[in-house]
Structure 1
Amino acid sequence: MFKFNSWRHKTLIYYLKGLTLQSPNPNPFFQHYPLPFSLHFSTTTSDDSTSFAASYLINNLGFSTQSASKLCSTYNFTFKTAQNPDSVLHVFRNHGFSDSQLRHMIAKLPELLSCNPSKRVLPKFQFFLSKGASKSDIVNLISQNPRILSPSLNNHIVPTYELVYRFLKSHKETIARVILNSAFHGDYHVPSNIKLLIENGVSESNIARLLRSWPLALRTRYNMVKLVEELKDLGFNPSKTTFSIAVVAKTYASETRWKEKVDAFKKWGWSDEDVVNAFKKQPYCMLVSIDKINLLMNFWVEQLGWDPLVLAKGPSLFLLSLEKRIIPRAQVVQFLLKKGLREKNASLTSPFIDSNKLFLDRYIKRYKEESSYLLKLYEEKFTLEDKTEMS
């Protein structure tokens, strides 16, 4: 007789009621004719038995024995028959989800197999469809992050969507933001952080900018109240663009990473005050990599012999391309200084900030006797660096 390892197998018992099998090997009949529900599994000794849920994962979703067992030992599955998980998979497959996507989703959110799809899944699909999302949009959204199905539709997803829509003013763009940042609507920090920024006078345009370009800043667990007060104390105006960039700079870097960047600047002679002032002038400077900081500083100080503190007063240079902007223009400026054609106390940073046309007019074409050489110097260096970057 087969020895059934737990009461979980009683659905099979009902099916086999009245049948007596004399061999521990599966009857060949069952290898060709499936049971009247989608679950297929074999029964073995109690030492190596596979649970109902694990068998379901293996035979219906293509999980390996190891991954199915691990998932079942980690999560407490509540389904004891195939009826509910079958109905869940039916809903997803009808909406275009592939087995590989379902396998990925269940691995991330196994409790989906125990949910009521009519209450937990379908209403959320219908909500996003009503806002203009396509079925493929929903497949992309949910397969990337199935946890978006976890929060309450009415208490979280709808209010968060409406809050984001308030700033983006377009269902198409709001849906696009949700798909690009699939964890967005599943994060309870987002609405609370947005509301906090509103309460502290942050402009709608700044919040829209964060939603479009740096949504992770709104998902931060950073103390937003403390951050806003800190930035205000530094002189940042919540209505200005620089405020949103400062929020990004502070939330995208851990305290350790922030300190490492401060130390990178200080290594080249800046003080703590210089770093703070540079951040206030151009908060983007704290978003550049440490490698970029060192590369620009090395070229500026070691190769050009210029004062590193000049960069503290013009931190926007850290945002520019070293190869395509800084190096070619530096050759021209350095030549002009050596020839006495530019005053030594003139701004060293302004030539790098000017547009290409303005730079050519101010620093090349105006020196008629030297213009041919300057243009050649500029274009040779620019072409050389450009080719090097492309190779």
Structure 2
Amino acid sequence: MFNTPPPYLYLKNHLTFPLIIHHSPSPSCSLHFSNNNTSDSTTSIAVSYLIKTFNFTPKFASKLCSTYDIRFKTAQNPDLVLNFFRNNGFSETQLPSIITKAPWLLSCNLSLRVIPKFQFLLSKGASKSDIVNLVCKNPMVLSPSLENHIIPTYELLYRFMQSDNDTIHLVIHKPYVLSSHLVSYNIKILVDIGVKDSTMVRLLELRSTTRLFQTNEMLEMVEELKNSGFTTSKTTFVIALLARENKVAWKEKVDLYKKWGWSDEDVKEAFKKQPHCMSVSINKINLVMDFWVNQLGWDARAIAKTPHILSLSLEKRITPRALVVQFLQEKGLHKENASLTYPFVVSEKLFRDAYLKRYKEESSYLLKLYEEKLKLAYTTHKNGMR
């Protein structure tokens, strides 16, 4: 260990950042082990260190060391690593979790594997607390090569986020974007096929894109959607991609639509027209279909031809307008061959003009019926009752 530790670490450009690396041993791990070159001995030392330092159970410590092949001869390097984290804002309660997820840190070369990455993030405007937050969420962000992975990935993300502040914010909230090698690979695929930068920003910021950016089937999904007629530069392509990525949810929804009377071809055509129909929750699908089929007595396949209906609010749009359409049907004012779905997808103004004001004798009653139902829906929503 260093006899006189330097108080600060310096970047190659001589900018100074207060990354403190005091080398005094921690109270819990002033351990001294005999120098034994055998593999069993070095593993045993690592197990003992984990038990005494973090109060891990012997079984857990042993499993951790064997799983990740953790071994060292003395406590010198692990002490150095842990003290570095302690002296740079990490708490005693955070360290066990970090080491559990990335035990290799204890035997790594701190100056090569960790410090340069802290320096890089600091140079981009991240605070020490930002780095603590990032590493605690995903310690594996310290694993990839700085030059070969972290810097190129950061620069790729910066292209979309357009500022260090926004890029750091993204990295802090989604650490996997900097640690996973699949992320930059998949981003490049999407850019190469024509997905717009503005769309990429929205994708990166969405909570639901974690699996998408880390999938190893991006090329296959892209080709499938292109063959289905989706245009890669349009937003609908990305919506379709997000829906297609979750195979389990996809199958569940296909089966559900078929349960309500759709054919495989209906599902295919509905998805092509409105890919969001495969992103709608199962609960929402059931509620809309139950109301449409069981309460109104209408054909579920009508929705397959206009799947946009599934994106509409049941309480604020579908139910109030359905009451009007039903009334007009009973009065013989809505032709049998007229589209059932059209009244639900037109604008509010067009609906009022075509279905509420058009029939003078009934307009007063229809307007009252419609607005009472709307008022109830908005009042229920405001009060948190759904």
The answer to whether the superposition gives a TM-score over 0.5 is yes
Q: Which residue of 2 aligns with 1:234?
A: 228
Q: Distance in 2 between matches of 1:81 and 1:52?
A: 7
The within-5 A match list for 1:52-71 is 52-71=45-64
- SS of alignment partner, residue 235 of structure 1: coil
Contact 2:141 2:179 in 1 (8 A): yes
Inter-partner Cα distance in structure 1 for 2:26 and 2:146: 35
Q: Secondary structure at the match of 2:129?
A: helix
Alignment of 1:147-186 (within 5 A): 147-186=140-179
Percent sequence identity over aligned pairs: 56
Which residue, 186, 198, 202 being the options, matches 1:193? 186
Cα shift at 1:257: 3.6
Matches within 5 A, 1:1-391: 39=29, 51-213=44-206, 214-216=208-210, 217-222=212-217, 224-251=218-245, 253-254=246-247, 256-354=248-346, 359-360=351-352, 363-364=355-356, 368-379=363-374, 381-382=376-377, 386=381, 390=385
| Cα RMSD (Å) | 2.9
Distance 2:51 2:251 in 1: 49
Higher mean Cα deviation, 199-208 or 146-155? 199-208
Q: Residues 308 and 190 (structure 1 numbering): CA distance in 2 closer, same or farther, change over 3 Å?
A: same
Matches of 2:209 and 2:323 in 1, distance apart? 40
| Residue 280 (structure 1) shift | 0.9
- The residue type paired with residue 218 of structure 1 is F
Residue ranges of structure 2 left out of the alignment (5+ in a row): 1-24, 34-42
Deviates more, 1:347-356 or 1:144-153: 347-356
Once the 2 structures are TM-superposed, how far is the Cα of residue 85 of structure 1 from its aligned partner? Answer: 0.8
Structure 2 Cα separation of the partners of residues 388 and 362 of structure 1: 32
Query: Does structure 1 conserve the Cα–Cα contact (< 8 Å) formed by 2:182 and 2:215?
Result: yes
CA contact (8 A) 2:270 2:306 kept: yes
- CA 1:42 to 1:342, structure 2 compared with 1: closer, same or farther past 3 Å? same
SS at match of 1:97: coil
Question: Post-superposition shift, 1:242?
Answer: 0.5
366-375 or 213-222: which moved more?
366-375
Equivalents in 2 of 1:313, 1:273: separation in Å?
11
Name stretches of at least 5 consecutive residues in structure 1 with no aligned partner. 1-34, 44-49
Aligned-partner SS, 1:208: helix
Could you tell which deviates more after superposition, 69-78 or 277-286? Answer: 69-78
**Matched AA of 2:320:** P
Contact 2:125–2:164 (Cα < 8 Å) also in 1: yes
Q: Confirm or deny: 8 A CA contact 1:310 1:348 kept in the other structure.
A: yes
TM-score norm. by structure 1 comes to 0.80
Equivalence for 2:22:
none
Residue 385 to residue 350, structure 1, CA distance change in 2 (3 Å):
farther
CA contact (8 A) 2:209 2:242 kept: no
CA distance in 2, matches of 1:323, 1:375: 12
Q: Whole-Å Cα distance in 2 between the matches of residues 63 and 272 of structure 1?
A: 53
Distance of 2:342 and 2:173 partners within structure 1:
38
| Aligned-partner Cα distance in 1 for 2:89–2:122 | 14
Q: Distance in 1 between matches of 2:232 and 2:26?
A: 64
Aligned partner of residue 144 in structure 2, secondary structure:
coil
- Normalised TM-score (structure 2): 0.81
C-alpha deviation, 1:376, in angstroms: 4.9
| Counterparts in 2 of 1:372 and 1:355: CA distance versus 1, 3 Å | closer
Distance in 2 of aligned mates of 1:250 and 1:55? 48
User: Measured at CA, do residues 170 and 344 of structure 1 come closer, stay the same or move farther in structure 2, by a change above 3 Å?
Assistant: farther
> What amino acid sits opposite 2:365 in the alignment?
E
Whether the 8 Å CA contact 1:279–1:285 is kept in 2: the answer is: yes
Change (3 A) 1:210 1:299: same
Give the drift of 1:110.
0.6
Deviations 1:37-85 (Å, cap 9, x if unpaired)?
7525799xxxxxx943233223333434443343234333222211111
- Say whether the 8 Å CA contact 1:329–1:351 is kept in structure 2: yes
SS at 1:79 equivalent: coil
Number of residue pairs the alignment of both structures matches: 349
**Which deviations, in whole Å up to 9, do the C-alpha atoms of 1:234-290 show, x marking residues without a partner?**
111111111111111111x12x44233212112222121111111111111111233
Aligned twin of 1:14: none
Give the stretch that moved more between structures: 174-183 or 71-80: 71-80
Q: CA deviation at 1:381?
A: 4.7
Contact between 1:40 and 1:56, CA under 8 Å: does it hold in 2? no
Q: From the superposition, tell whether residues 80 and 324 of structure 1 become closer, same or farther in structure 2 (CA, over 3 Å).
A: farther
- Which residue type is aligned with residue 267 of structure 2? V
CA contact (8 A) 1:129 1:135 kept: yes
CA distance, structure 2, for counterparts of residue 249 and residue 374 of structure 1: 37
Q: Deviation at 1:118?
A: 1.5
Shift of 1:145: 0.7
Name the SS for the 1:369 alignment partner.
helix
Deviations 1:282-306 (A, max 9, x none): 1111112333222221211111011
